[in-house]
Amino acid sequence: MRVSENIYNMHIDDGAPSHPGGSNNFFVGDPKKEMVLIDTGDYQREWTKSILDYYTDLGSPRIIGILITHGHSDHIGGLDRLQEKFKCPVFCHPELSGKLKMLLGDQEAVKNLSHFQKLSVADIELQVLFTPGHEIDHVCYYLKSDSVMFTGDSVLGASSTSVRHLSSYLSSLKLIASYPHETVCPAHGPVVPPPRGSGLVEWQLNHRLKREEQILDVLRKGFSTASTITSEIYPRDLSDNLRFTAQRNVETHLEKLVEDDVLSQEESVYYFTGS
Ligand SMILES: [Zn+2]
């Protein structure tokens, strides 16, 4: 599907429960000149084949680079096959380059990105934004000409993402919200077009900030463990799987509040610092 003048999306319903709304691999640029590919899907051969079939449908353009959003397996699974096919450099966060060099067995092919770097493809420019939070090696790409933010797994199209480090995640959302865009191209879930696309990142940011307020309220009422806080905030009838994710989410907030010195922790009990 063509998303905008310079963006083509190979959408795949990969069926992973953690990817509601399927997954996306984006070809960016001009199929008649040159393009880059953002992410390479998971290990399954069918996924790689879908990317290659889509590439053939585009007219087998020259691929001048593969850009990686982060090192989770559903983003680098098909990398070795696709890099072998395209014979192009692979660009990633410096934290990820060692792993990719091992994976490809090729020191030269992997290039470190830098924060705010601009990459030219055909007549357009993609801006690199380091956006740790979901993972430390996460990168978003901004395409000003098409008013599009490629959010990787930082902001998804149909669900909220998992967060490893909440403070960095919130700073990253603030950063990407500050680059004006109308469309969000996430790695999972549907592409979010205007008008909702322009407010989605900020919505996610506010959603997380509200959750923090909610957790503080529940702590003030005397609930003091991740488990009791989760039961108080989320519906009681959550499936075990969702409950696990919900509690993990609460724990991420509690860890941040301890880092911020708002809370102190003794084993599984949290209390307001100084109280
Ligand atoms: Zn992912």
Q: Compute the distance from residue 67 Cα to the ligand 1 centre, in Å.
A: 14
Q: Compute the distance from residue 269 Cα to the ligand 1 centre, in Å.
A: 32
**pLDDT tens digit string along 154-165?**
999 988 898 999
Q: Compute the distance from residue 44 Cα to the ligand 1 centre, in Å.
A: 14
Q: Compute the distance from residue 256 Cα to the ligand 1 centre, in Å.
A: 23
Burial zone of 84 (CB within 10 Å; 0-12 exposed, 13-18 middle, 19+ buried): exposed
Which pLDDT value is given to residue 92? 98
Q: What is the rounded CA–CA span in Å between residue 214 and residue 254?
A: 12
Q: Compute the distance from residue 18 Cα to the ligand 1 centre, in Å.
A: 8
Q: Compute the distance from residue 22 Cα to the ligand 1 centre, in Å.
A: 10
Q: Compute the distance from residue 223 Cα to the ligand 1 centre, in Å.
A: 33
Q: Compute the distance from residue 10 Cα to the ligand 1 centre, in Å.
A: 15
Q: What is the rounded CA–CA span in Å between residue 66 and residue 86?
A: 9
CA torsion 122-72-248-159 (nearest 10°) is 40
Q: Compute the distance from residue 162 Cα to the ligand 1 centre, in Å.
A: 10
Regions of the chain where pLDDT drops below 50: none
| CA angle 127–182–206, rounded 5-degree value | 95
Task: Identify which of 3, 79, 85 has the alpha carbon closest to the alpha carbon of residue 38.
Answer: 79
Which pLDDT value is given to residue 20? 82
Rounded to a whole number, what is the largest CA-CA distance in the chain?
Answer: 66
Which pLDDT value is given to residue 15? 80
Q: Compute the distance from residue 153 Cα to the ligand 1 centre, in Å.
A: 5
Q: Compute the distance from residue 272 Cα to the ligand 1 centre, in Å.
A: 35
Over the Cα atoms of the chain, what is R_g? 20
Q: Is the model's pTM score more than 0.75?
A: yes
Q: Compute the distance from residue 218 Cα to the ligand 1 centre, in Å.
A: 31
**pLDDT tens digit string along 240-272?**
888 998 999 999 999 999 999 999 999 999 999
CA torsion 87-72-133-16 (nearest 10°) is 120
The CATH topology of domain 2-200 is Metallo-beta-lactamase; Chain A (3.60.15)
Note residues around ion ligand 1 (Cβ under 5 angstroms). 72, 74, 153
Q: Compute the distance from residue 271 Cα to the ligand 1 centre, in Å.
A: 34
Q: Compute the distance from residue 152 Cα to the ligand 1 centre, in Å.
A: 7
Q: What is the rounded CA–CA span in Å between residue 59 and residue 43?
A: 24
Which pLDDT value is given to residue 17? 76
Which pLDDT value is given to residue 202? 97
Which pLDDT value is given to residue 88? 98
Yes or no: say if 218 and 49 are a contact pair by the CB < 8 Å rule: no
Residue 39: strand, helix, or coil = coil
Which pLDDT value is given to residue 163? 92
Residue ranges matching CATH 3.60.15.10 in the chain: 2-200
Return the half-sphere exposure (C-beta side, CA atoms, 13 A cut-off) of residue 229.
28
Which pLDDT value is given to residue 274? 86
